[in-house]
Amino acid sequence: METVIIEGVTLHLCHPDVFPLDWVGRSDLIDQVLAAWLVIEEKDLPLNPRIVGKPGVGKTTLAYAAAKRLEREVYFFQATMDTRPEDLIVTPVIAEQGKIRYMASPVVTAMLKGGVLILDEGNRMSEKSWASLAPLLDNRRYVESIVTGLKIPARKEFRFCATMNDDASTFELPEYIHSRLQPQIFIDFPEPDEERLILQRNLPFAPKDILDYVVRFLQLAHQAHERYTVRDGINIARYSLKVLENNRLLSGAPREERPGRALRLAIEMILGDKALRYFS
């Protein structure tokens, strides 16, 4: 485990995150994130974009894809209602022989390594926790650790991005944080061709007829302003394939069953019977 010593205090850093996430969609959205992170002269500072949209539309994937374009290490922090300020900065743990070991969070590790921090579902976090990040998100670019008594500066290469769901199960951002998380980049539901491409990328083994069914279902749901997303579509397609394969194994015969019945079951099991109104 890599360590950094600041004013005599040893911080143990966490590992960067590597995921098989591949952005399929509008390339201009990646350009918007990269533009926010751009520094155009010595006295300029990067902005801290927030990516907003319904759950499952690809906010995290977009942030990760943009970060990889920078060829920097990427660190994730999953925000929850229980996130404490110390969780965001430095946490003490008991090590061997009863000694205290100071564990740097993904936020602080990204700051010290000059990486990219993606704060996922940031508006599930309380104002008290956001307040601990306020100096990081303005021209001061540091955090203070109450546990260690350290003021920890970010390297100039450090970049920050938050993703946020636009549903009712979240906190309102305090105004002083809202103004620090700019610009806002909104992701809407994808177009049919994009949706099919996302499904193909995630389920390369799925037959075309199942993907066509799922895209048609999702597009009808979008037109009715339902919150069903391509993530739901991936789960529907995947479960329907498992149902068909299970039926094949039970019968001992090659799969000849039409997918409609399996898809209907998958939609009902995953989204509930009300979603069946969009199944044709």
CATH code, domain with 122: 3.40.50.300
Q: Does one domain contain both 84 and 119?
A: yes
Q: Does one domain contain both 34 and 145?
A: yes
Number of domains in the chain: 2
Indicate the DSSP class of residue 16: P
Closest by CA to 204, choosing from 238, 177, 179, is 238
| 188 pLDDT tier (thresholds 50, 70, 90) | confident
* pLDDT higher than threshold 70 for residue 255: no
Rounded to an integer, the average pLDDT of 3-27 is: 89
Alpha carbon distance, N-terminus to C-terminus of the chain? 54
| 96 pLDDT tier (thresholds 50, 70, 90) | confident
Range of the domain at 81: 3-187
Q: What is the pLDDT of residues 68-86, one digit of tens each?
A: 999 999 999 999 999 999 9
Partners of 162 in beta bridges: 50, 119
Q: Does one domain contain both 144 and 251?
A: no
Q: Does one domain contain both 85 and 200?
A: no
Final residue belonging to a domain, choices 134, 164, 187: 187
Q: Does one domain contain both 210 and 140?
A: no
* pLDDT higher than threshold 80 for residue 252: no
Q: Does one domain contain both 15 and 48?
A: yes
Indicate the DSSP class of residue 121: T
Contact 48, 181 (CB under 8 A): yes
Contact 175, 221 (CB under 8 A): no
Q: Does one domain contain both 80 and 129?
A: yes
Model pTM?
0.85
What was the pLDDT predicted at 168? 57
Final residue belonging to a domain, choices 170, 187, 204: 187
Closest by CA to 117, choosing from 180, 185, 163, 149, is 163
Q: Does one domain contain both 174 and 212?
A: no
Percent of the chain with pLDDT over 70: 96
* pLDDT higher than threshold 80 for residue 257: no
Q: Does one domain contain both 153 and 175?
A: yes
Contact 97, 103 (CB under 8 A): no
What was the pLDDT predicted at 49? 97
Q: Does one domain contain both 120 and 33?
A: yes
- 107 contacts: CB under 8 Å, gap ≥ 6: 75, 77, 88, 89, 117, 119, 133, 136, 143
Contact 206, 188 (CB under 8 A): no
Q: Does one domain contain both 230 and 169?
A: no
Final residue belonging to a domain, choices 135, 162, 187: 187
Q: Does one domain contain both 166 and 225?
A: no
